[in-house]
Structure 1
Amino acid sequence: MASESDSDDNSDPPVSQILVANDAGIFSFDGYQLEFQDHPYARNVAQYIPLLEPFRTTRGTIAARQPRHDSKPRSWWQSQCVFRGLSSDGNIEEMQNALRGHEEDCISEDILDLLDRAKKKFKTRNREARESNWMHNMSDEEKATKNPRRYLKETFPAGSKSKETVLLTTHFVASIRETARELGLRCEYTHAPTDGDTVVRMAKYWVVVGQDRATVTEKVRMIERETQRLKREQEEGQQELRRKNKVMRTKQMETEEAIANSKDWDVTGSWRISCPHIEESWDVESLTMKIFVETTEKGVQMFAEFDFGILTGVLRFERQKGDTITSSTRPMKCDDIDEEEKPEEEDEKEEDEKEEDETSEKSSDTYGQKEDDDDADDEAEARRSPTPESFYFKSIAQPSAKHPTWNYRYRSEETGEGVIELGSDSELYSLTFCGPNGRSLKGTIGGSVFGDCTFTGVKVCGVEVGSVGTEYLNIREEWANRNAWAYENAGVSRWH
């Protein structure tokens, strides 16, 4: 059976190189030429050997321009000596002198005998490798494509009678069908089921070969029925996909029309963020932000969760100056809380001073003391505090062309080891909504990891109030999970 693949011995050898040896050393052979120390035989080496005497002109004087010779490594000179049957001992100059007078000598008889042995060994090794690959590695399709005659003769031995069939998936039918006919076998084929891309890909066929005509025909008919079923399913799937796409386009058009007709800005939803300083310095991408609006009994809150690659967390927007909340809605003062509010004054100057006081008072839970308590409920309550009044809006409940810029504070943790960025909420940053109906933004942010920098964003989709899709953000919980109590509870020692 091995003889079936003898014609392949000189094409695409699985063994690309073998080693052979004689008294001179070890040679390599790639099916075409011998090499000694990675150098083949060179027919004319005179061009590389320096002249014994300087080149002279016709007048007998030494020429100003002497012939230049390309330099060769010592291993190359050794190889040329070995191929000519000369001694390869000594330095380069000694081997050059040994080659003088033998520059165009042919390969020595010993090396030619070695070449013959190398060719036989190369052919044997590759025949063995092909046979091993045929027996252990190749699939039926690969065998039928590589050598259809051998494959079919092995599958259906001469003189045997069987109703067994083989099913082959291939792009090429002619050689298999012709070989099957010569061996007295029945061969039929049909188009294989496709995924709809046959326009850009070569057609594929399912080929059935067997000894019994009726069995082969029935097998092909069964395949054709299955093909039709799959085709119907694909058409139905495509129709459903077109229907869904139409619904999506309709909803998108309705949304765009609603936005175009809207006088008020709606900034809630998902935003694609760009911050060159972070993206280029830390090789991160796909920065995102999701903005939420939530209406409570005490007023409207606007907040967001963000993922800036090296930092994730939440931020809370503060109300606009002049958007005051009456004292009746302000929570009572408590010694246990980590955020305090000073009484508001109607005078504008005192209003500005109050905003500055709130900035210092809300810094990373460093104001207000907590007492140790064994009770789990008391401990959980201790790590939370009433929401500061500045996070509640009243009459100015969302961004607009008149109020595009909003101040915010944030709490976060590093994405690597989850280290909480303690103290980040002590700083006040700003974010400005711009573009048509606030569809883009520009903001500032700072941190111990990356310093102060700016970022921009574009809104990519809207959301329902208080949620993004099926998500819901409990801002009080997320805010409390990043305070000083959470930092200490996580164990500072693992971050240092």
Structure 2
Amino acid sequence: MTLEELQIAELQEKQEIATNQRKAENHARQTALAAAAGAKKGPWDLTGEWTIICPYLEDYLSGEPAILGMSIWRDTAEHNHPESDSDEEDRHDDEEEEEEEEGEEEKRPRRYYAAFDFSVLEGVMRINGPVASGKQKTCAMTHRWRGRETGESVIAVGSDELLLKMVFSKHGTAVSGDFEGGCVEPVTFTGMKVVAGNNQESSRKDEWRDLSARAYERARVNRWR
């Protein structure tokens, strides 16, 4: 084995050790959060910091595997508003509400925003659906996303046309979901909560609007001025 090959092997070994250590630490945090959440009554708290696992996205760019993550907040923005960015956004809101069943207060649809960094793409998700409570096993929701490629910073037009599934479990501390659009083929990701959000609230409506098809067109026109 040449010196260069030895150096590469040592680097790969160090990277593997660091990755395994990070996974163990994240798993320990998620286990502690799940235990605390399981002792609480009422709707699950989905907010907080999440580490995301998806080999396809982690290895999409060359070099060391990327670290993926997202942050989730309760959505305080108003929807179906006259000043909404587009009629399409209003239509999507109506469709999502029709798909959800009404029930008790804690089972009615709730909205969340998630800011995500998936290495090759970063942006905002809008998550919608009835939140599980108590000792329920899972919480099935839907999401749409808007974002941009991290390399050229080009907006992924049309990504929000896709209504994708996202399922939370372990009292709101584990998640699995579908993701596709832009430069990414259909994939499945999993994740675990590593920092509690304590039902943190925020609005990412401005960021959502800044990643619209209209924003893409404005940027395209400005590039040629």
In the superposition, the TM-score normalised over structure 2's length comes to: 0.62
Does 2:213 correspond to 1:484? yes
1:458 is aligned to 192
Letter in 1 for 2:74: V
Structure 2 letter corresponding to 1:429: L
Cα distance change, pair 488–276 in 1 and its aligned pair in 2 (3 A) = same
Structure having the larger proportion of residues in strand: 2
State the match for 1:304 in structure 2: 114
User: How far is the alpha carbon of 1:408 from its aligned partner?
Assistant: 0.8
Instruction: Verify the 8 A CA contact 1:316 1:408 in the aligned structure 2.
Output: yes
Q: Following the alignment from structure 1 to structure 2, what is the Cα–Cα distance between the partners of residues 275 and 427?
A: 19
Greater relative CO, 1 or 2 (CA 8 Å, sep 6+): 2
Alignment length (residue pairs): 159
Q: What does 1:30-49 correspond to in 2, within 5 Å?
A: none
Which residue, out of 137, 143, 147, partners 1:408? 143
Check the 8 A contact 1:269/1:459 in 2, yes or no.
yes
Aligned ranges for residues 92-171 of structure 1 at < 5 Å? Answer: none
Say whether 1:294 aligns with 2:75. yes
The 3-state SS of whatever aligns with 2:185 is coil
Relative to 1, partners in 2 of residues 1:452 and 1:492: Cα closer, same or farther, differing over 3 Å? farther
Paired position in structure 2 for 1:18: none
Amino acid in the other structure paired with 1:418: S
Runs of 5+ unmatched residues, structure 1: 1-253, 320-395, 468-472
5 Å-filtered alignment, 1:6-85, equals: none
Residue of 44, 47, 50 corresponding to 1:271: 50
Report the TM-score, using the length of structure 1 for normalisation.
Answer: 0.30
**How many angstroms apart in 2 are the aligned matches of 1:407 and 1:302?**
10
When residues 273 and 492 of structure 1 are mapped into structure 2, their CA distance, relative to the original with a 3 A threshold, is farther
Q: Deviations over 1:405-452 (max 9, x none)?
A: 111111000111210000000011111112x21211111100231211
Asked whether the equivalents of residues 291 and 302 of structure 1 are also in contact (C-alpha less than 8 Å), the reply is yes
Alignment correspondent of 2:105: none
Deviation at 1:478? Answer: 1.1
Superposed CA RMSD? 2.7
Match of 1:318 in 2: 128
Matches within 5 A, 1:104-253: none
Change (3 A) 1:257 1:448: closer
For 1:336-375, what aligned pairs fall within 5 Å after superposition? none
**2:175 alignment partner in structure 1:** 441
Q: Secondary structure at the match of 2:205?
A: helix
Sequence identity (%): 36
Larger Rg: 1
Matched, 1:425 2:203: no
**Matching of residue 262 in structure 1 with residue 40 in structure 2:** yes
CA distance in 2: counterparts of 1:257 and 1:442, whole angstroms = 19
Aligned-pair CA distance for 1:493: 7.7
Secondary structure of 2:57's aligned partner: helix
Deviation at 1:268, TM superposition (A): 0.5
Quote the Cα distance in structure 1 between the aligned partners of 2:181 and 2:217. 19
In the alignment, is the contact (CA less than 8 A) between 1:408 and 1:431 conserved in 2? yes
Letter in 2 for 1:272: T
**Alignment-mate amino acid for residue 415 of structure 1:** T
Structure 1 segments, 4+ long, off by >4 Å, are 254-258, 295-300, 492-495
CA contact (8 A) 2:157 2:182 kept: no
Instruction: Give yes or no for contact 1:406–1:430 (8 Å, CA) kept in 2.
Output: yes
**Pairwise CA distance, 1:489:** 1.3
- Paired residues of 2:45 and 2:197 also in contact (CA < 8 A): no
Q: Which amino acid aligns with 1:293?
A: R
Q: Any conservation in 2 of the 1:294–1:466 contact (CA below 8 Å)?
A: no
CA distance in 1, matches of 2:217, 2:77: 31
Contact kept? 1:267, 1:399, Cα under 8 Å: no
